[in-house]
Amino acid sequence: MSTSKFCELLGIPERTWRRWQAKARAGKPVKGPWPAPSRDQHRAAVAATASKHPAWGHRKIWAMVRHDGHLLSPSTVLRIMADEGLLLHADHQKQRRELAKQRKAAFAAPPTGPNQVWQFDFSEYETTGGGTWRVAGVADYFSKYEFAWHWSPTANQHDAIAGVELALAKAEAMLGGVSLVDHLTDPETGEVVPITLVTDNGGPFRSFRFEHFIAAHPELRHVRTRVRTPGQNGVRERAFQSLKYERLYREQIDDGLDLVREADAYRVEFNTVRPHEHLAWNRPSEVHRGLAAPTVPTFPQPEILPTT
């Protein structure tokens, strides 16, 4: 058996094996294995969370167990998942492209709170039964919150209007009885500061009916991105990609009913359970409701025992 094959079976790098071998030949064998109390203490919690969310990497699993009160580092979670065989393969997201670090935004100034900039687009998914369904979804740029999704066999102007109507209804429901127009009205000037709705240049968004719908809602202002610049709508594109790679591509989706059920379950998980690195490992629902800031993690603080 070759050394490379031997190391592959053992699950160690060949350079590590060569170093151990040289030390053994020099009469200085490698010491260990050393005890790992931190790994042993949190192994069950990490393994349970990673098994429940197989599409997540070790950093999201670390954030989850930190929210549950476990004090450990991301590297400890990485080692536990490696021991348990729960790490994702290095090429598990080969088809994903890394988002550009610097984007030219479709708005003049970056938003400082929720309900200032929404991003809207369509995506599609083909079921195993052969049917292709399209989803219209609106995401809040600041909080990454996913409003209700509209599924349809088509992606036309009527579907675009239905998707925005669902977002408006959900956003108003989250305000606790305050209308969205009143929420967006400046108390000093009485001027309504509309939400910037960012879309691409697809046909439904260029239609007269859709523009008429936007004009009839003073709480909205429509902005289209430059042609062939999907990065300007990156939050929306990235969330749809997460939906497919973390849920839909992992499940048996036979028809539209299965598709809607799995997608809605993922949307709830995305908003209320899944930690987001860009939000300092908080959840979109917490940031959108003002319960957490997108720059400060809300992990439980360790108990400080009194000193004697």
Burial of 105 by CB count in 10 Å (0-12 exposed, 13-18 middle, 19+ buried)?
Answer: middle
What are the start-end ranges of the E strands in the chain? 117-126, 132-140, 150-152, 195-199, 220-224
**71 Cβ contact list (under 8 Å, min separation 6):** 302
What is the pLDDT at residue 307?
Answer: 63
| Cβ atoms of residues 80 and 39 within 8 Å | yes
**Assigned token pair, 76:** 């400890």
Q: Each residue of 18-52: pLDDT tens digit?
A: 998 898 888 888 777 778 899 999 999 999 999 99
Tell if the pTM clears 0.75, that is, is over it: yes
Q: Each residue of 99-136: pLDDT tens digit?
A: 333 334 445 577 899 999 999 999 999 998 878 999 99
CA distances from 259 to 73, 132, 148, 154, 274 (A): 36, 10, 14, 15, 20
Query: What is the C-alpha R_g of the chain?
Result: 24
What band does 137 get if pLDDT is binned at 50, 70 and 90? very high
> What's the average model confidence in pLDDT over 176-204?
93
What is the pLDDT at residue 213?
Answer: 97
pLDDT above 50: residue 289: yes
What is the pLDDT at residue 89?
Answer: 67
CA distance 264 to 257: 11
